[in-house]
Structure 1
Amino acid sequence: MSGQIKLGSSWRPFQARQIVAPQKGFIWAAEARVGGLPVRGYDRFSEGVGQMRWRLLGILPVVTARGVDVTRSAGGRLASEGVLVPTAFHSAIWSAGPSPDTAVMTRVINGETEHVTIQVDPAGALTEVSMLRWGTPGGSPPGRYPFGVSIEAEAEFDGITLPSILRAGWLRGASRGNGDGEFFRARISKAVFR
């Protein structure tokens, strides 16, 4: 995937690869540039632990984080990114959503029950993913806050339809592009299923 990520108050282009194993974990490895210099690193959730590790020039630490709050947030991210692996939908518990065009996908990740609401348009295309995700957006105290992903387009990869253009952010309305907490814009260009 490629896109833009908000670092501080500036949007920076990035290139990334991600592995998602529903119910087990993910690793998102990327490179962005700050002042023309590469910042490389990863976000991950594996073996029940979440971690972020980012370094300037591959040497100087920019962000290093782990602990209970990072793990809980990463578990929520894994639950929401289940939409990137629709072949694993059968492993979720499904229920009716708050409106006729929504459904709730429930997964237990690392002992935490995560409820992810998905919204579709009249033709059945995925348009939004939302949840109360653990985090500390904007320096808020740790807790569950509204988190949303707006799906702007879908594409077919290996015969499976996935979100291909998306925006993500914290706080109510973030996924609708009003700027509140939006920090991620991406285009998925390739997906392989194993």
Structure 2
Amino acid sequence: MTKQISLDALWDSATSQDRVFHLDDFTHLPEAARRYLEHAIAPGTKLASAVRLKMHGEIKLKSWIPFKAEQVICWEHGLIWSATAWMNSFLPIVGSDRIIDGIGAMQWKLLGLFPVMTASGSDITRSAIGRLQSESLWLPSVFCGDGVSWASPDSSDLDSNLHPSFVVQGERAELDFTLDQTGCLKTCKLPRWGNPDDAEFRYVDFGGILEEEGTFCGYTIPTRLRIGWYFGSDRFESEGEFFRGTIDDAIYR
């Protein structure tokens, strides 16, 4: 499989699993982790290896512009985000971001013809892996794997902090979740490789606010969210936030 694989081919590559979700299999986990999994996955739901999403929203380039997108996350191989955004409300920019089998790339064209952004290389790959790590929250079955470790540092009457850690595409994810007493995710943060200020690449706090959720095929996932760099600081609101999205549909395999 190469980085040129299509969205449909990535979806078709997903392997079906026979295992289904039973909370009794996770009694050894911290209480907050059990609460999250019980909220995110209905009993008896087949543990999926892939999700296909449709979404719309706004993305910030120099200004906020609307987009529509389709995305496939196939945990065995990676993700493709294929989108169209409209500059000045009528000029389409068409392209994709992807991380497939350890190779990351970005390619965007004005009117689908004229290149406006093309990027690849080791820094782009590491940053794209960070994106895959953060978007695991759309594939909650990932957190049922044997390779996930959990910590729940502290909690209050209002919410809990939860720290899942796992390795994907050769990089360790160190996620920080905030969830309420029902198990609903409220925020997500992780160190992600990037250069949001056009300086040298480095790990920068990345994440966002998860404002609404919905249920699809037995999975309850965030459906309206605000995402960006410098999450957890004042810089998120002023310069870091660059993505405001709404999930319209999700199917699992």
In structure 2, relative to structure 1, the CA distance for the partners of 1:56 and 1:46 (3 Å cut) is same
Q: Distance in 2 between matches of 1:187 and 1:26?
A: 18
Is 1:26–2:79 an aligned residue pair? yes
2:139 to 85, 90, 97: 85
Q: Which moved more, 1:141-150 or 1:103-112?
A: 103-112
Where does residue 102 of structure 1 map in the other structure?
Answer: 161
Q: Distance in 1 between matches of 2:248 and 2:236?
A: 22
Q: Distance in 2 between matches of 1:108 and 1:74?
A: 14
Q: Distance in 1 between matches of 2:66 and 2:233?
A: 20
Is 1:16–2:75 an aligned residue pair? no
Q: Deviations over 1:115-158 (max 9, x none)?
A: 11111012211001100100001212101000012100111111
Q: Is the CA contact (8 Å cut-off) linking 2:148 and 2:166 kept in structure 1? A: yes
Name the count of aligned residue pairs: 193
More strand by share: 1
TM-score by length of 2: 0.72
Is 1:112–2:165 an aligned residue pair? no
TM-score by length of 1: 0.93
Q: Distance in 1 between matches of 2:234 and 2:225?
A: 9
In structure 2, relative to structure 1, the CA distance for the partners of 1:130 and 1:138 (3 Å cut) is same
2:114 to 51, 60, 75: 60
Is 1:179–2:234 an aligned residue pair? no
Q: Distance in 2 between matches of 1:46 and 1:127?
A: 29
In structure 2, relative to structure 1, the CA distance for the partners of 1:103 and 1:156 (3 Å cut) is same
Q: Is the CA contact (8 Å cut-off) linking 1:80 and 1:116 kept in structure 2? A: yes
- Bigger RCO (CA 8 Å, 6+ sep): 2
Q: Distance in 2 between matches of 1:130 and 1:117?
A: 5
Q: Which moved more, 1:162-171 or 1:82-91?
A: 82-91
Q: Is the CA contact (8 Å cut-off) linking 1:93 and 1:107 kept in structure 2? A: yes
Where does residue 222 of structure 2 map in the other structure?
Answer: 163
Where does residue 101 of structure 2 map in the other structure?
Answer: 47
Cα RMSD after superposing both structures:
1.7
Q: Percent of aligned positions with the same letter in both sequences? A: 41
Letter in 2 for 1:141: E
In structure 2, relative to structure 1, the CA distance for the partners of 1:84 and 1:163 (3 Å cut) is same
Gaps of 5+ in 1: none
In structure 2, relative to structure 1, the CA distance for the partners of 1:89 and 1:157 (3 Å cut) is same
Larger-Rg structure: 2
Gaps of 5+ in 2: 1-54
Q: Distance in 1 between matches of 2:180 and 2:234?
A: 15
Q: Is the CA contact (8 Å cut-off) linking 2:151 and 2:164 kept in structure 1? A: no
